[in-house]
C-alpha cells in the first residue's frame, strides 16, 4: 500500500476545546471552594491545613497519590523516554507498584504509631534537631530546584505544544493555577485530586487510543489491538524491559539494576521517605492509609499504558514521516519531550480540550502537592522550630501560604532561566529529574531504613548519611573526569559517554548503579559509626515498633498478592 503523506497539524485550540477546559476548571475550582468552606477549622488549624488530618478517605488518598505523582515528568518526560528507549522506562511505574506495597506494610505503620507528620519531624524524633534541620533545607532545595522547576518547564512545553500559547506565558499560568489550589490546604488538594485523576486517566487513554489507531491506519488496518500488534513488530527493540550492555540506552537503565539494584532505592525513597508523597496518608488511620496506598498501586500498573505507549507510537509514526517539524526545538534538534504534545494535536476538536484538561490536571495536581509539602516542611520544621516556637495556629497557616507563593515564584524564575538548558536540546526531562534527585536519595534512604529498624543507630551516623551521601554522589559523578573507569565496563558498571564540551568519550557509572554504591557505603559507614559510639556508651532513642504493626488484613493481602502476580506476568512477557 502506498505510504500516506504526512499531515501538518497546527498547535491550536478551537472554541469547543476552550469550553471543555473551562468546564474542567469550574468543576475543580468550585469543588475545591466547597471543600475549603465545609470546615472552617481548616483556616486556622495547621495540622488540618497541611495534612487534612482524619478527613481523606482511602479512595481520596490513592487518587491523590497518583495525581500528585503523575505529572509533566511522566506525560512529557516519560513519554519522551518511551520514544527514545521504549517500554523499559515503564519499570519506574511498575516497580513503584511493588514499592507501594512495601511502604504500606512496613513504613506507614511506623509513622502512624509514632505520630509522625513530617519527614524532618521523624529525623528530629529519631535522631536530633541538627539532622532534621539539615534535611529540611535539603528537601526544600530539592523540591524547588529539581521538582517544581522541572514540572513547570516540562508542563509548559506540553501546554504550549497543544495550545500554541507562548511557553513562558504557560509557565506563569500553571504557577498561578497551582497556587490557587494549594492555598486551600491538603484537604482541597486531596479531594480535587480525585477529579484531576479522572481527567488525567480519561485524557491519557484517549491519546493512547488515537496513537494506536493511527499506527494501524498507517499500515492499512484499523483498531487499537492491531495498532499495538504493529507497534511490537515495527518497534520490537522498544519492547525490552531489561537492557543488555550493548544497548545504547544501557546507561539510563543498566540491566538487572532495575530489578535488584538502584531502582529500589529510587522508589523506596520516593514513596516511603518523601514528605510530598507520604503526607497524603499521614492524616489517616492505618487501615484507611493502607487501602489508599494499595489503590494507588493498582493505578500504577495502568500508567505505562497512558504515558509510555503513546511515546512508542510517536516513535513509529515519526519513522513513517510524521512529526518531522513538530518535534524540533528552537535550535532544530529533535526534542523527545515534544512527542506527547505532537500526538495530542491529532485529537479532534473537543477531545483536544479534554486532553488539554488532563495535562493541566496532572501538572497542577503535582505542583500543588509539592508546594504544599514545601509549605509544610518550612512552616512546621524550620519556622516553628528555629524562628517562632510559640506561633499561633493561624500564623503557621499564613506562613505556610507565604512559603508556597515564594517557592512557586522561585521555581518560575528558575524554569525561565535554566529550564531549556537542563531539559531542552534533545535531553530526556524524566531522566534529568531521576538523576539529580538521586544525589540525595541513597543517603536519605539509608538514614530512614536504619532509623526504622535498628534502634542502636546514632545521630552522628545519620549525619554521615545525610551529608556524606550527597558528597559521595557528587564524587562518583565527577570521578570519570579524573579517573579511567573503563575496567568497570566488563562488569556492566560503566559505559561510554560523550563529553560535548571536551569532545571526548569517557566511561561513567550509570546513575542507578551510582545510587546503589552510595547507599551501600552510607549503610556501612552508619554501621561503623554506630558500633563505635555504642561502645562508648551512647544509646540513642529508637522508635516504638512491635511486630503486630506489620500485620495486614485479608483484603489488603489479597490485593497485594494480585499486584505482585500482575508484575511477574508483565516482566515475564516483556523481558
Whether residue 20 is contained in a domain is answered as: no
Residues 423 and 480 in one domain: no
pLDDT score, position 158: 73
Bigger pLDDT: 379 or 458?
458
Residues 495 and 431 in one domain: no
Q: Are 235 and 311 in contact (CB under 8 A)?
A: no
Residues 177 and 246 in one domain: yes
Determine the Cα–Cα distance for residues 243 and 250; give it in Å rounded to an integer. Answer: 6
Q: Report residue 98's pLDDT band, with 50, 70 and 90 as the boundaries.
A: very high
* Per-residue model confidence as pLDDT tens digits over 490-504: 777 777 776 666 667
Q: Which string of DSSP letters, residue by residue, matches 217-242?
A: HHTT--SHHHHHHHHHHHTGGGS-SS
How far is residue 305 CA from its own chain's centroid?
17
Please say which residue of 410, 435, 460 terminates a domain: 435
Q: Over 50: is that where the pLDDT of 6 sits?
A: no
Side-chain-side CA neighbours of residue 31 (13 Å) = 16
Q: CATH number for the domain including 288? A: 1.20.1730.10
Whether residue 550 is contained in a domain is answered as: no
Please state which of the ranges 25-34, 213-222, 518-527 shows the lowest mean pLDDT: 25-34
How far is residue 340 CA from its own chain's centroid?
17
Whether residue 155 is contained in a domain is answered as: yes
pLDDT score, position 8: 43
Residues 265 and 284 in one domain: yes
Residues 377 and 450 in one domain: no
Whether residue 569 is contained in a domain is answered as: no
Highest mean pLDDT: which range of 118-127, 176-185, 305-314? 305-314
Determine the Cα–Cα distance for residues 47 and 527; give it in Å rounded to an integer. Answer: 35
- Would you call 331 exposed, middle or buried from its count of C-beta atoms within 10 A (0-12, 13-18, 19+)? exposed
Determine the Cα–Cα distance for residues 37 and 71; give it in Å rounded to an integer. Answer: 27
Q: Are 301 and 563 in contact (CB under 8 A)?
A: yes
As given in the structure block, the three cell numbers for residue 253 are 537503565
Q: Over 60: is that where the pLDDT of 45 sits?
A: no
Q: Are 200 and 361 in contact (CB under 8 A)?
A: yes
**% of the chain surpassing 90 pLDDT:** 8
Q: Report residue 3's pLDDT band, with 50, 70 and 90 as the boundaries.
A: very low
Determine the Cα–Cα distance for residues 171 and 412; give it in Å rounded to an integer. Answer: 7
pLDDT score, position 297: 92
Highest mean pLDDT: which range of 392-396, 478-482, 502-506, 562-566? 562-566
pLDDT score, position 422: 61
Please say which residue of 435, 451, 480 terminates a domain: 435
Q: Over 70: is that where the pLDDT of 263 sits?
A: yes
As given in the structure block, the three cell numbers for residue 348 are 479532534
Nearest to 300, CA basis, from 523, 437, 551, 98: 98
* Per-residue model confidence as pLDDT tens digits over 265-279: 888 988 888 766 676
Residues 114 and 241 in one domain: yes
Residues 83 and 128 in one domain: yes
Please state which of the ranges 185-189, 316-320, 418-422 shows the lowest mean pLDDT: 185-189
Residues 376 and 286 in one domain: yes
Interhelix angle for 58-69 vs 286-307, to 10°?
40
Residues 156 and 238 in one domain: yes
Determine the Cα–Cα distance for residues 503 and 77; give it in Å rounded to an integer. Answer: 27
Whether residue 214 is contained in a domain is answered as: yes
pLDDT score, position 160: 78
Q: Report residue 563's pLDDT band, with 50, 70 and 90 as the boundaries.
A: very high
pLDDT score, position 36: 63
Domain of 503, in residue numbers = 438-544
As given in the structure block, the three cell numbers for residue 406 are 515564594
How far is residue 575 CA from its own chain's centroid?
24
Mean pLDDT of 403-421: 81
Mean pLDDT of 280-309: 84
pLDDT score, position 431: 63
Please say which residue of 367, 402, 435 terminates a domain: 435
pLDDT score, position 118: 74
Highest mean pLDDT: which range of 44-48, 131-135, 278-282, 496-500? 131-135
Rg (CA), the chain: 23
pLDDT score, position 337: 72
Mean per-residue pLDDT of the chain: 79
Whether residue 185 is contained in a domain is answered as: yes
Determine the Cα–Cα distance for residues 484 and 343; give it in Å rounded to an integer. Answer: 43
Nearest to 155, CA basis, from 373, 362, 436: 362
Residues 377 and 485 in one domain: no
Whether residue 333 is contained in a domain is answered as: yes
Q: Are 530 and 447 in contact (CB under 8 A)?
A: no
Please state which of the ranges 56-60, 186-190, 413-417, 445-449 shows the lowest mean pLDDT: 186-190
For residue 69, the surrounding DSSP H or E stretch is: helix 58-69
As given in the structure block, the three cell numbers for residue 346 are 491529532
Determine the Cα–Cα distance for residues 351 and 309; give it in Å rounded to an integer. Answer: 19
Q: Report residue 41's pLDDT band, with 50, 70 and 90 as the boundaries.
A: very low
pLDDT score, position 42: 44
Nearest to 132, CA basis, from 399, 389, 377: 377
Task: Using a cut of 0.75, tell me whether the model's pTM lies above it.
Answer: yes
Q: Which whole-number Å values give the CA distances from 175 to 18, 153, 358, 437, 503, in the listed order?
A: 19, 11, 16, 22, 38
Q: Report residue 527's pLDDT band, with 50, 70 and 90 as the boundaries.
A: very high
Structural domain total, the chain? 2
Determine the Cα–Cα distance for residues 337 and 81; give it in Å rounded to an integer. Answer: 8
Q: Report residue 413's pLDDT band, with 50, 70 and 90 as the boundaries.
A: confident
Residues 355 and 451 in one domain: no
Residue 450, SS3 per DSSP: helix
Whether residue 514 is contained in a domain is answered as: yes
Q: Over 70: is that where the pLDDT of 141 sits?
A: yes
Q: Over 50: is that where the pLDDT of 229 sits?
A: yes
Q: Which whole-number Å values give the CA distances from 92 to 97, 139, 221, in the listed order?
A: 9, 21, 32
Residues 156 and 193 in one domain: yes
pLDDT score, position 7: 43
Q: Report residue 9's pLDDT band, with 50, 70 and 90 as the boundaries.
A: very low
Amino acid at each position: 500500500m502506498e505510504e500516506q503523506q504526512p499531515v501538518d497539524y497546527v498547535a491550536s485550540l478551537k472554541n469547543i476545546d476552550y469550553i471543555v477546559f473551562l468546564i474542567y476548571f469550574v468543576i475543580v475550582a468550585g469543588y475545591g471552594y466547597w471543600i475549603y468552606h465545609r470546615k472552617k477549622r481548616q483556616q486556622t488549624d495547621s495540622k488540618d491545613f497541611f495534612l487534612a488530618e482524619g478527613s481523606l478517605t482511602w479512595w481520596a488518598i490513592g487518587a491523590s497519590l497518583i495525581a500528585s505523582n503523575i505529572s509533566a515528568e511522566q506525560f512529557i518526560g516519560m513519554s519522551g523516554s518511551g520514544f527514545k528507549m521504549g517500554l523499559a522506562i515503564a519499570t519506574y511505574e511498575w516497580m513503584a507498584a511493588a514499592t507501594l506495597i512495601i511502604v504500606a506494610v512496613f513504613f506507614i505503620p511506623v509513622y502512624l504509631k509514632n505520630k509522625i507528620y513530617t519527614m524532618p519531624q521523624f529525623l528530629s524524633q529519631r535522631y536530633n534537631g541538627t539532622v532534621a534541620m539539615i534535611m529540611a533545607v535539603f528537601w526544600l532545595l530539592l523540591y524547588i530546584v529539581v521538582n517544581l522547576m522541572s514540572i513547570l518547564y516540562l508542563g509548559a512545553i506540553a501546554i504550549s505544544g497543544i495550545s500554541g500559547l507562548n511557553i513562558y506565558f504557560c509557565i506563569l499560568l500553571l504557577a498561578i493555577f497551582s497556587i490557587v489550589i494549594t492555598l486551600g490546604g491538603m484537604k482541597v488538594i486531596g479531594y480535587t485530586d480525585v477529579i484531576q485523576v479522572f481527567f488525567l486517566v480519561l485524557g491519557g487513554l484517549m491519546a493512547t487510543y488515537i496513537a494506536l489507531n493511527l499506527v494501524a491506519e498507517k499500515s492499512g488496518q484499523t483498531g487499537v489491538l492491531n495498532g499495538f500488534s504493529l507497534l511490537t513488530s515495527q518497534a520490537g527493540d522498544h519492547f525490552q524491559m531489561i537492557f543488555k550492555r550493548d544497548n545504547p540506552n544501557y546507561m539510563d537503565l543498566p540491566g538487572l539494576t532495575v530489578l535488584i539494584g538502584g531502582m529500589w532505592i529510587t522508589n523506596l525513597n520516593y514513596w516511603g521517605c518523601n514528605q510530598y508523597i507520604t503526607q497524603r496518608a499521614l492524616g489517616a488511620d492505618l487501615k484507611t492509609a493502607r487501602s489508599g496506598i494499595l489503590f494507588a498501586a493498582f493505578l500504577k500498573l495502568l500508567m505505562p499504558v497512558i504515558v509510555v505507549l503513546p511515546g512508542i507510537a510517536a516513535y513509529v509514526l515519526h519513522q513513517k514521516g510524521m512529526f518531522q517539524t513538530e518535534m524540533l526545538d528552537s535550535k532544530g534538534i529533535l526534542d523527545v519531550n515534544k512527542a506527547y504534545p505532537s500526538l495530542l494535536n491529532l485529537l479532534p476538536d473537543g477531545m483536544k480540550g479534554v486532553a488539554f484538561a488532563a495535562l493541566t490536571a496532572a501538572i497542577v495536581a503535582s505542583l500543588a502537592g509539592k508546594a504544599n509539602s514545601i509549605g509544610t516542611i518550612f512552616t512546621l520544621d524550620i519556622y516553628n522550630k528555629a524562628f517562632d516556637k510559640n506561633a499561633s495556629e493561624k500564623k503557621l497557616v499564613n506562613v505556610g501560604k507565604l512559603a508556597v507563593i515564594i517557592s512557586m515564584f522561585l521555581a518560575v524564575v528558575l524554569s525561565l532561566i535554566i529550564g531549556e538548558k537542563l531539559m531542552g536540546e534533545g535531553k530526556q526531562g524524566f531522566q534529568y529529574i531521576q538523576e539529580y534527585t538521586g544525589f540525595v536519595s541513597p543517603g536519605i534512604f539509608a538514614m530512614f531504613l536504619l532509623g526504622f529498624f535498628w534502634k542502636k543507630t546514632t545521630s552522628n551516623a545519620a549525619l554521615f548519611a545525610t551529608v556524606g551521601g550527597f558528597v559521595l554522589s557528587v564524587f562518583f559523578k565527577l570521578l570519570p573526569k579524573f579517573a579511567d573507569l573503563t575496567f568497570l565496563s566488563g562488569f556492566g558498571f560503566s559505559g561510554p559517554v560523550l563529553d560535548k564540551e571536551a569532545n571526548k568519550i569517557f566511561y561513567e557509572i550509570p546513575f542507578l548503579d551510582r545510587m546503589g554504591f552510595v547507599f551501600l557505603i552510607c549503610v556501612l559507614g552508619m554501621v561503623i559509626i554506630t558500633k563505635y559510639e555504642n561502645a562508648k556508651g551512647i544509646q540513642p532513642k529508637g522508635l516504638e515498633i512491635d511486630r503486630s504493626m506489620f500485620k495486614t488484613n485479608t483484603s489488603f493481602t489479597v490485593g497485594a498478592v494480585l499486584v505482585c502476580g500482575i508484575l511477574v506476568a508483565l516482566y515475564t512477557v516483556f523481558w
